[in-house]
Amino acid sequence: MLSINFERRPAIGLFLFLQFSLLLSEPKHSPIISAIEIRGNIKTQDHILTREILHPLDRPIDSTIVLEDRNRLDNLGLFSESSWQTVPLEDGTSKLVYLVTESIHRTPPLALPTYKEDTGWSLAGLWLINNFRGKNQSLAVGGSIGGEDTYGFNFTDPWMFGDHVSLTLNLGRTLYEHRFLDRTLDVNSFYVGFGKWYGSSIKTSLGIEIEKKSFLNNLDEINDDSFFYLGLTGSFKYDTRDIYWNPGQGVLFSQILYHREGFRPEGWRITTWTQSFSWYKRINKRENKQVIALNTSLNKKFGMKDNLWLDYFGNSYTIRGWPLPDPDLYLSKNEPFRFGHESVLFSLEYRQELIPKRATSFGTEFGLAVVLFSDIGIIANHWDDFHREIPMQGYGFGIRIPFPMVSVIRIDYGWGYRNGTWNSGAIHFGVGQKF
């Protein structure tokens, strides 16, 4: 039997150690990608997906680009799941394969209950196609009765006129009771908007709207207030989020201007300037991701500030933990700090996935996340009044449930705090992430 005593032959031991170390440290060659394939798309046309793929051919695989490509596919909003793998080929190269599972993309004409926090429950008749003609176009025709009486038509195409040039059309009418004024709103509108991406992070849009908004006095219809105006809106966004519906990293910075120029009353005009900054940071590397997310936003108005256009705090998109205001609260003037035209808001969330989103055999998604949140903000009639206001605060928890065509359903419960006093709390429902 051959044996080597390393204590007696140190040179041999050192030689073998160095050889073994070199073997372990030898770089592994990345496969050369000679072909790219997408599997799993049944309804969606191939070119809708391939135009999102940027990984070059005949180059070694770059996992960073592959992940970015997969995220772009996921951000189309068409799939319940998406992943990737490499498949070796006979010539020694590899094929890069993206695997997708299509989500529910359409509903038959049907009637179903719907809920909005401001207006309550309605019975909606809806025909929705989220991937019309397999081109990632969205087409919706429908109406509702109940909390809102509506009917309308909506069409969107994110790539209508070449490279990331989008089109949005919207035509409709809506009637509903004002949240805290004794008025019924009758809104008739037509909107056309265009968008353009510059690279993968810069997004711009421009829209034109013709709208008639009437505030019908429920007590004396003689004193109705009606506005007929042309609306111009423009936006600039810098967006580096990885996954839009549930970001794990990146930022979203947006600037939005909305100007209304009145035909009736003549000379009436108002401009709303909204700024927002969101930041997302994943704090773990496990499949069930943990994320810290924060947002700060500012809303400022220029021009005429009629009380009919007054905003408020206390819902799923502002300060959570405060019940929605009603006419009694507004008329009593017990909480004037909840109403105004201009606002600043800060929100912080801790998001923990309990069940990562998965596709089901029915084309739906299943998943669950819990959230801890903190909101703080000030709303006032004029910017100069901010230093005299005591901030409103809200603290609580919530759940997030992935859902086809609306990305996620949100349920939050919280308690409000201001000037040393807690309220009794409030529950909030919403669609999509707060930010």
Give the SS3 label for residue 337: helix
% of the chain at pLDDT higher than 70: 90
- Domains of the chain, first to last: 30-102 (3.10.20.310), 110-343 (2.40.160.50)
Tens-digit pLDDT profile for residues 388-426: 999 999 999 999 999 877 889 999 999 999 999 999 999
For 27-58, what is each residue's pLDDT tens digit? 456 889 999 999 999 889 999 999 999 999 99
By percentage, how much of the chain surpasses pLDDT 90? 65
- Phi, then psi, of 223 in degrees rounded to 5: -95, 35
pLDDT at 1: 42
pLDDT in tens, 318-331: 999 999 998 899 98
| Burial of 21 (C-beta count, 10 Å sphere; 0-12/13-18/19+) | exposed
Q: pLDDT at position 35, please?
A: 93
Question: What tens digit of pLDDT does each residue of 238-271 get?
Answer: 999 999 999 999 999 999 999 999 999 988 999 9
CA distance 74 to 38: 13
Q: Report pLDDT for 171.
A: 97
pLDDT score, position 2: 41
Q: What is the pLDDT of residue 28?
A: 57
Between these two residues, 293 and 431, which has the higher pLDDT value?
293
CA-nearest of 322, 335, 310 to 393 is 322
Q: For position 410, what pLDDT does the model report?
A: 95
Mean pLDDT of the chain, nearest integer: 89
* pLDDT value for 147: 85
